[in-house]
């Protein structure tokens, strides 16, 4: 069994490090080959878990790593490359013990979801780990974009007038840089090389471009503008491009109407190609139905392709194009749109919408590259995936997904990382609170009298506040009383003046009752003893009663008379004086 084979090779001694460089007789080539076969089995973890000595699982894993280091000293150079690709742990292999703790969730605090973008077709990370977005501005790809021969039909629209390449801060989505104006018609794939150059494809132009971060004109163009083709100098709707960081070789997936991967030299010279159109029925290795996305695995010298319509991921050797493996799951459904690799052994992918009547959902996948198994799946919390078109992940397991239909970009991160960030933030806030409390306590201890001082200040403040309130009340009351007093004074003066005037007139002119109230009452004709002007003037010679007869007092006039009478009674209420003594 596996454990015993490792024990034979490595032993349980502490001189394993010496054995690694000086293999003993136990390290026979056939023994090494036998262990290599066990390591390459997909159910390796299951064999170990079901073994009687489960307590030694950690020891077994440590010895697996020791075995691979020892194996590198025993294998011939020409075979060592294959061994590392297949089974070297720590490079291209996600450690099994981390599976249970790894989970991807949307970073809901990221504001990039609110960006105003066109159809998002490509995503990448630059050397500073900034997010680079490739979008189509006001252009869209619909059924009228191409004819049956894949020739672009909307040239009259002209190139996109917006900047199609946006560089964003991955933390706050702030725009750092933009370029790509008036260059493209229908952007598609995007990658960034180790020098920060942008590599993009345009399915309408059938071309691949290399752009400098600060250059307005392309540094390199592959393909012939607006001319689809299948030879060494033409593309037909190329989908993606990748650049080997070690050799500088260029790999292009071509594409929607071709089914091949083409390799170019760093200067853009044709080197080789591989792939063919899928056959009817089950697709064989190396056959494609829209090779849609590329992911380089530099440490393992492999190139993985999202074989979109075949719903799988195929991986090939960079130097030869030889098929190495296929990753295919029922959860993928019929389509796999994009794939991205993270150093350390994690592979990320997004699938497409299931066909009508089929079960499944549009989601993201996290896979162990070594075994191909799915570690986790994820979906956004805000909005939903409609057609996730590209995916990119960083070494800290931050993931970005661009959607061509939703016209947006989501950010995802491991739940452990977001929890750590929240705890750290809460810890900082708690620390600041404790520090402020400590400062206050220290000041109070150094100055005990400050407590009494604060109390006195509070009392003074309350007294001042009460005083100010009282002053305000008195001031307002005074301002309201003054006009009333003035008005009363005016009324009293008017009343006194009227009384004086009417008193003088009655004594000097009419010799009537000196009471002003009685004079006014008689003038107004109140009571039976009032003065009748008609009779008065009729008693004198030469006058008549005409014009002095009593008028009708019905209706509203009567109401007015009553009101006037009340007013008169209110203003003139002095009692009549006793009659003057008759003259002798």
- Rounded CA-CA distance 237/188 in Å is 9
CA distance 53 to 60: 10
CA 473 to chain centroid: 54
CB 241 within 8 A of CB 252: yes
Helix axes 57-74, 77-87, angle to 10 degrees: 160
Tokens of 502: 């009417």
Task: Indicate the annotated binding residues for a protein.
Answer: 136, 256, 308
SS3 state of residue 246 = coil
- The DSSP symbol for 283 reads P
- Could you tell me the strand order of the sheet in which 270-274 lies? 238-243, 250-254, 260-264, 270-274
- Compute the Cα dihedral for 268, 273, 279, 282 and give only its sign: negative
Annotated binding-site members for Ca(2+)? 123, 190, 390
Report d(CA 416, CA 356) in Å as an integer: 36
Residue 45 CA to residue 39 CA, distance in Å, equals 9
For the annotated binding site, the residues are 123, 136, 188, 190, 256, 292, 308, 389-390
The binding site for Zn(2+) consists of 188, 292, 389
Handedness of CA 367, 368, 372, 376 (dihedral sign): negative
Residue 118 · residue 139 · CB < 8 Å = yes
Task: Give the number of C-alpha atoms closer than 13 A to the C-alpha of residue 360, restricted to the C-beta side.
Answer: 21
Q: SS3 for 166?
A: strand
Looking only at the bridges linking them, the beta strands covering 250-254 and 260-264 are antiparallel
Rounded CA-CA distance 204/202 in Å is: 6
């Amino acid at each position: 069994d596996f454990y015993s084979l490792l024990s034979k090779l490595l032993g349980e001694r502490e001189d394993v490090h010496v054995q690694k460089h000086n293999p003993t007789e136990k390290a026979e080539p056939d023994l090494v080959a036998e262990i290599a076969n066990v390591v390459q089995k997909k159910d390796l973890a299951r064999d170990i878990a079901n073994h009687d000595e489960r307590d030694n699982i950690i020891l077994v894993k440590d010895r697996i790593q020791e075995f691979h280091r020892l194996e590198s000293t025993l294998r011939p150079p020409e075979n060592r490359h294959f061994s590392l690709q297949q089974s070297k742990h720590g490079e291209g292999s996600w450690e099994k013990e981390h599976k249970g703790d790894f989970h991807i969730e949307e970073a809901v605090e990221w504001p990039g979801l609110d960006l105003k973008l066109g159809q998002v077709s490509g995503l990448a990370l630059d050397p500073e780990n900034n997010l680079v977005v490739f979008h189509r501005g006001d252009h869209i790809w619909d059924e009228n974009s191409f004819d049956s021969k894949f020739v672009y039909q909307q040239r009259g629209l002209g190139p996109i007038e917006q900047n199609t390449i946006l560089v964003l801060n991955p933390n706050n989505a702030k725009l750092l840089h933009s370029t790509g104006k008036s260059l493209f018609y229908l952007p598609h794939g995007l990658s960034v090389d180790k020098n920060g150059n942008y590599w993009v494809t345009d399915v309408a132009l059938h071309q691949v471009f290399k752009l400098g971060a600060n250059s307005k004109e392309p540094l390199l163009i592959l393909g012939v503008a607006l001319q689809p083709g299948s030879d060494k100098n033409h593309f037909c709707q190329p989908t993606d491009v990748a650049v080997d960081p070690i050799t500088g070789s260029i790999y292009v997936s071509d594409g929607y109407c071709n089914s091949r991967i083409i390799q170019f030299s760093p200067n853009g010279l044709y080197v080789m190609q591989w792939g063919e159109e899928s056959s009817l029925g089950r697709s064989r290795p190396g056959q494609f139905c829209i090779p849609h996305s590329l992911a380089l695995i530099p440490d393992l010298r492999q190139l993985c392709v999202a074989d979109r319509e075949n719903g799988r991921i195929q991986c090939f050797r960079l130097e030869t194009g030889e098929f190495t493996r296929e990753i295919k799951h029922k959860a993928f459904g019929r389509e796999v749109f994009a794939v991205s690799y993270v150093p350390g052994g994690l592979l990320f992918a997004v699938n497409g919408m299931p066909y009508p009547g089929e079960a499944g959902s549009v989601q993201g996948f996290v896979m162990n590259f070594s075994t191909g198994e799915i570690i986790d799946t994820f979906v956004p919390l805000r909005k939903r995936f409609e057609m996730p078109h590209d995916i990119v992940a960083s070494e800290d397991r931050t993931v970005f997904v661009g959607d061509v239909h939703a016209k947006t970009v989501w950010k995802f991160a491991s739940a452990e990382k977001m929890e750590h960030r929240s705890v750290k933030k809460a810890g900082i806030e708690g620390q600041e609170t404790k520090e402020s409390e400590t400062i206050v306590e220290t000041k109070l201890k150094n100055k005990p009298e400050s407590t009494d001082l604060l109390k006195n200040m509070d009392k003074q403040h309350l007294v001042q506040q009460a005083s100010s309130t009282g002053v305000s009340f008195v001031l307002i009351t005074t301002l309201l009383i003054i006009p009333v007093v003035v008005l009363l004074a005016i009324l009293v003066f008017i009343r006194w003046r009227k009384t004086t005037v009417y008193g003088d007139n009655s004594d000097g002119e009419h010799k009537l009752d000196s009471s002003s109230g009685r004079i006014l009452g008689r003038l107004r004709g109140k009571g039976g003893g009032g003065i009748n002007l008609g009779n008065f003037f009729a008693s004198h010679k030469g006058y008549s009663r005409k014009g002095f007869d009593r008028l009708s007092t019905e209706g509203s006039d009567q109401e007015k008379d009553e009101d006037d009478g009340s007013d008169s009674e209110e203003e003139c209420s002095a009692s009549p004086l006793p009659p003057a003594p008759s003259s002798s």
